[in-house]
Amino acid sequence: MADELPTAAPGTADSATPEFVLQSIYIKDASFEAPNGPNINAATWAPQFGMNMNTTGTTLADNVHEVVLTVTLDAKINDTVAYLVEVKQAGVFLMRGYSAEDARRLVTTFCPNVLFPYVRQAISDLINKGGFPPFLLPPVNFDALVAQSMAQGNNGQLGGTDGGPSIVN
């Protein structure tokens, strides 16, 4: 057919063509604490939530990066901690053929976007298994967080050692 685009044979990627491959996703660390159990003021469950989000990136090998999205969430009723949950969701990504700026943008925005649904589910599962009402993290726009940081003169460095976003509510 005349409309078909030429394709390279498997395993023969054009060196000029950028390549992005998710190699694995895993929980690097998880913690759940409920110092007073799930029955803390169960009748009047209206906690105040605090959230901190951070990304870090590490180069594992040439063109291979580990990105870790860390989310810490606490629920308090008055000054009493109902629960504290922290999950470090990690992924290994192959990034080949990108400029340094494009690779940085992938690590700070695209990779956390890939990891977010996994960390969201892990946190929800831990809270639910701890005996508390369901909780889903609100959506996060990592592109906007990095842009906001750059507008504040932080060069996109929000919290991670690689300049990844950090959120504190």
Instruction: State percent of the chain over pLDDT 70.
Output: 79
b (16+ CB within 10 A) / e for 52-65: ebbbbbeeeeeeeb
In a domain, 1, yes or no: no
Stretches in the chain below the pLDDT threshold 50: 1, 5-9, 157-169
How many structural domains is the chain composed of? 1
Residue 9 lies in a domain: no
In a domain, 159, yes or no: yes
Q: What is the pLDDT of residue 167?
A: 40
Q: What pTM value is reported for the model?
A: 0.79
Distance CA 23, CA 66 (A): 10
pLDDT value of residue 150:
76
Residues in Cβ contact with 135 at an 8 Å cutoff, skipping those fewer than 6 apart: 49, 73, 75, 123, 124, 127
Predicted pLDDT at 42: 63
What is the β-pairing status of strands 48-61 and 166-168? antiparallel
* Domain range for 68: 19-168
Residues 36, 15 contacting (CB under 8 angstroms): no
The CATH number covering residue 36 comes to: 3.10.420.10
Task: Decide: 114 and 91 in contact? Cβ < 8 Å.
Answer: yes
- The pLDDT value given to residue 14: 55
Q: Per residue in 87-118, pLDDT tens?
A: 999 999 999 999 999 999 999 999 999 999 99
